[in-house]
Structure formats: C-alpha cells, structure tokens
Amino acid sequence: MKILGIETSCDETAAAVVEDGHRMLSNVVATSMDLHKAYGGVVPEIAARSHLEVITPVIEEALKVSGCGWGDIDAIAVTYGPGLGGSLLIGTMTAKTLAIAKKKPLYAINHVEAHIYANFINETKLHNYKLPQTSPALPLLALIVSGGHSHLIYLKNHSDYEVIGRTYDDAVGEAFDKVAKILGLPYPGGPSIQEAAKDGNSRAIKLPKAKMAGKYDFSFSGLKTAVLRAAQDQAGKDFTFPSYELAELLTNAQKANLAASFQATALESLIDKLKTAIDDYSPLSVVIGGGVAANSALRQMVEEQIPTEVNYTDIKLCTDNAAMIAALAYFKQQNSEPTDPYTLEIDPNLSM
C-alpha cells in the first residue's frame, strides 16, 4: 500500500511516498528556515506564506521521485496538529482537496506520534540515508524531543500508547533555541549549540537539573534561566542588563563552555528519565525522535548508557518530514476508518 504523506506543521513543507509503512519511495522537504533566521525564530505568517508557495511543487516532486502516478497512490495522510495554525491549514486544505479530487481515503495524523514512526522506515532506494535494518520491536519506549515537544511514550501496540512523561514548561529543543539566542549563536539553536559545545568543557559551569514530581517528567525553563544568570556572571553584568546585548561581551571560550555545560545538563535530564522508564517498563526496544534526536552527543550518551536495543533513524528523518506521516498512516488505516475530507479541521493544540 502506497501512501502520500503531507506535513506543514511548522517551517518545513514536506511530501513523501511510503509503501507499507516502511519502504520510503520519496522524501521531499522544503524549508523556510533561512527566512526566519533574521528573526531568531519561526515567524508564523512567513511560514504559512512559504507553505502556500511551495506545497504544489513539493507534492509533484515527491510523486515524481517515487515513480508513482495518482493511480498508484492508495491513500493520503496529513498532519492536522499540533503546530502553527496558519501552517497546518495549508497542508490540510491541500490534502482535503486532493483526497476529494483524486478520490483517495484521507488519514489525519498527529505530528508528535508520527515522530515515533520515522523509526519504522527501514528500506529505501534514495541516496544518503542511513536507516535501521529492522523495525523496532513492540512494546517500545519513545523519547520524542523537538522544538515543541519533550515526551516519553510507551507504545504497547500500534494505536495503543501511553504518554508517561512530558515537559512542564519549555520543550528541550526550545531551550536549545533560547540558549543559542542568549549566546548570540544562529538559529536553529540545536545544531549551533552542538557545534559550539565541541570546543567547550561540559563541566565548566555547574547548572541545576530540575526535580519533578512526575517520575518521568521534564522541565527546562529553570535550566535556561540558569544559563542566562551564568552568562551575566561571566560578562560581569547583573540581571538588569539587556540579555540580547550579553553575547557581545562573552569570549568564544566562555560561549563554548556555556554551550557545552547547558547541552550536557539538558541531555543528562533526558537520559536519566529514559533510564528510569526503561527500568520500570522493560520495553523490547527504544526509539528516539524529533529534531533534538539529531544531536550527536545525545546519540553517544544513549549508545553508552542505554542497555535496551535502540533504533536510530537517519538525522534527516529526525527533523520534520512527511515520510513519518505516511509511515504512521499505514498502521492507522489497519484499525481505523479514514477521515471525512469535508469535515476535517486542524487542531493546533492537539495532544497525544
């Protein structure tokens, strides 16, 4: 079964064709990230306008690369939440229109849940993808860490899962982005912090780890503030000094130490909770997903400290893409009815 996936929840306009939930025939991603760089974060109006401009060519390219015509496509899948309202509207309107015009069943997909399914893609003829050889065994534990989400999910069976941990405040990717801003490093913050941290000492600055009531829950807002205070301290300024002027006063060595100390503390919190959950749930496999799962230091820590078999997907499938949307839709259609394209609405605050 070949499913065309469409994803537009943030700043990536993506379309992909995936067969039987694991064979990736195409994966096209156009990002408006460069347009947002000047503002230090995603500007929703710019993202929506950019989706509108490129969605049709992106879908056409995904079909072309896959070698499929409309007659070969069995269903369409689209992200309907969570995400930016204007961005979600472009993807869902396009998918609804195509489903009606081409007479295809439509599946509405939860973006966060789909990040888990990026790890089920294990076959492709496309170049430059490093995929796992097998699908992860169930039950599995998933650590989904992105700019909008930090979730620990226990997936017993397809469509039977429990969110066992979540963030109380900032998502971990959001904390990377905000700390990068304090240090004057370019957006998106995750890759910039990872790069800066390579020249720093992760034990140079002692930063706090949040203690949460929920055994598997996260909090990153206090850590972000602690980095701000440490940066002020290093720059010889107090809290009244404008944070956006701090970076100019810091040396590269100070920035590297702050980046390395922040990264180590944030990732240790993730690993601590993941280890606790593995001890309690004894899953058969572990997957990591979401943009922060692209972080090489996180991958190294997982490899060294996690005893369970871990499926790592290619970094290009950790960040937002439509292959994961099409992969999840394959498992969804096995035990649920398609969505009515005339009534489907976006849900920007959709929870798991």
Residues that bind ligand KG4 (CB under 6 A): 10, 146-148, 173-174, 176-177, 188-191, 194, 290-292, 294-295, 319-320
Q: Does residue 26 touch Zn ion according to CB under 5 A?
A: no
| Residue of 8, 100, 127, 38 lying closest to 339 (CA atoms) | 100
Rounded Cα gap, residues 114 and 142, in angstroms: 11
Selection from ligand KG4, Zn ion, none that 189 binds (CB < 5 to 8 A by kind) is: ligand KG4
* Residue given tokens 């170049």 in the structure block: 127
Region from 23-31, 79-87, 157-165, 314-322 binding Zn ion, contact rule CB under 5 A? 314-322
C-beta of 176 vs 330, nearer to ligand KG4: 176
Q: Does residue 320 touch Zn ion according to CB under 5 A?
A: yes
Virtual torsion, Cα 216, 221, 226, 231, nearest 10 deg: 130
C-beta of 176 vs 216, nearer to ligand KG4: 176
C-beta of 12 vs 19, nearer to ligand KG4: 12
Residue 34: strand, helix, or coil: helix
Residue from 32, 119, 146, 192 binding Zn ion (CB under 5 A): 146
Selection from Zn ion, ligand KG4, none that 188 binds (CB < 5 to 8 A by kind) is: ligand KG4
Name the E strands within the chain: 2-7, 12-19, 23-31, 75-81, 106-110, 123-124, 140-145, 150-157, 160-166, 285-289, 310-311
Rounded Cα gap, residues 208 and 227, in angstroms: 10
- Site string (55-94) toward Zn ion, x via CB under 5 A: ----------------------------------------
Q: What tokens does 105 get?
A: 């069943």
Determine the residue with CB nearest ligand KG4: 190
Task: Tell me the backbone φ, ψ of residue 337, rounded to 5 degrees.
Answer: -80, 155
C-beta of 161 vs 176, nearer to ligand KG4: 176
For 16, other C-beta atoms within 10 Å of its C-beta total: 31
End-to-end CA distance of the chain: 26
Selection from Zn ion, ligand KG4, none that 260 binds (CB < 5 to 8 A by kind) is: none
C-beta of 21 vs 148, nearer to ligand KG4: 148
Rounded Cα gap, residues 14 and 12, in angstroms: 6
C-beta of 94 vs 319, nearer to ligand KG4: 319
* Residue given tokens 């929506």 in the structure block: 48
Assess whether the previous peptide bond of 208 is cis (omega < 30° from 0): no
Selection from Zn ion, ligand KG4, none that 11 binds (CB < 5 to 8 A by kind) is: none
Selection from Zn ion, ligand KG4, none that 200 binds (CB < 5 to 8 A by kind) is: none
Assess whether the previous peptide bond of 105 is cis (omega < 30° from 0): no
| Binding footprint of Zn ion on the chain (CB under 5 A) | 146, 320
